[in-house]
Amino acid sequence: MSLLEIKDLTIHYVTKDSIVKAVNGINISLEKGETIGLVGETGAGKTTTALGILGLIQSPPGQVVGGEILFSGTDLLKASDHEMRKIRGDEISMIFQDPMTALNPIMRVGDQIAEVVYLHGNCSRAEAVKRSIQMLEMVGIRAERSREYPHQFSGGMKQRVVIAMALACDPKLLIADEPTTALDVTIQAQVLDMMNKLKKKLGTSMILITHDLGIVAESCDKVAIMYAGRIVEYGSLEDIFHNVSHPYTIGLFGSMPSLDKDVDRLSPIPGLMPDPSALPSGCKFHPRCTSAWEECSKVEPELYEISPGHCARCLLFRKEGAVNE
């Protein structure tokens, strides 16, 4: 049984003006110890998916419209509030994007970590404090610093504290939402390195949300590319990097600046991500796709298998019929 199985997850934000279809029928599966990268531009629905797993979607206006989230067999969407609270922080943890604002500014750093340990750990307060210091040292922060406040730490160190807090209760699954985006590049490398080491050591599965394919290459076993709330390509790291298939993914790779080639201009994907409250008909990517033809605006493609474990949501890979280039 997989650790996490998301089936057909659909999440909408309903306001009186419009319905924002943030996530539309996502399917993901994750085994123990695996890391999946969830890649996409801003607005693709990645964070919403992550919040949906933990049940942290703001209920007006957000609603989970359909699907299942099976975590060790239990459907999280049907779990009660009480059960979800037991899972949060303990079996599933989440790290958010901006470390500068993720910590309570008037609470000591050690206390914030001890809080989650004490909540889930069934241990005494003293033991919780010991564990929090242990976690801090694991992320490379001296024990004395546990009595300090967040504003006394730099951005990278704050993110380490956040990671320490997330891993304190030994969760089975860690969801990291763009954990290094707000940090500068050298720090990024250090933090990623640390996360990879810890992940291996503790056997934690991870969903790594990012828009940076470089990070994906370093940390992930599987990749899911998201666009307009759907997964448009899914496969192992090898599949995606060596056999990239969906036009959007090709575009993503193509837009990355290359170290070997000498170009005058970068080549981004033309156009913008569609407005989630007014999605185009047929294939959601067709307005920006260089390989699109007429049928693409009418028929919404399914996920077609390219090779075992690798699929893409594009009519190019439809089994029956010839493929027009």
Which residues bind to another protein, rule: CB under 8 A?
A: 18, 54, 56, 84-90, 93-94, 96, 98, 101-107, 115-116, 119-120, 140-142, 148-149, 151-157, 160, 162, 165, 183, 186-187, 190-191, 271-272, 274-275, 277-278, 280, 287-288
Half-sphere exposure of 174 (CA within 13 A, CB side): 30
Distance CA 228, CA 285 (A): 8
Q: Which is nearer to another protein, 180 or 219 (CB)?
A: 180
The CB-of-144 to another protein minimum distance in angstroms stands at 10
Q: Which is nearer to another protein, 102 or 250 (CB)?
A: 102
Q: Which is nearer to another protein, 76 or 223 (CB)?
A: 76
Q: Which is nearer to another protein, 96 or 227 (CB)?
A: 96
DSSP readout, 54-117?
A: HT---TTTEEEEEEEEEETTEEGGGS-HHHHHHHBTTTEEEE-S-HHHHS-TTS-HHHHHHHHH
DSSP readout, 198-220?
A: HHHHHT-EEEEEES-HHHHHHH-
Q: How many residues are given for the chain?
A: 325
The backbone torsions φ and ψ at residue 216, rounded to the nearest 5 degrees and listed phi first, read: -60, -45
Q: Which is nearer to another protein, 142 or 197 (CB)?
A: 142
The CB-of-45 to another protein minimum distance in angstroms stands at 18
Q: Which is nearer to another protein, 154 or 324 (CB)?
A: 154
Give the pairing type, strands 35-39 and 222-227. Answer: parallel
Q: Which residue has the tokens 């260089």?
A: 290
The CB-of-166 to another protein minimum distance in angstroms stands at 8
**Burial class (CB within 10 angstroms; exposed 0-12, middle 13-18, buried 19+) of 148:** middle
The CB-of-52 to another protein minimum distance in angstroms stands at 13
The CB-of-19 to another protein minimum distance in angstroms stands at 13
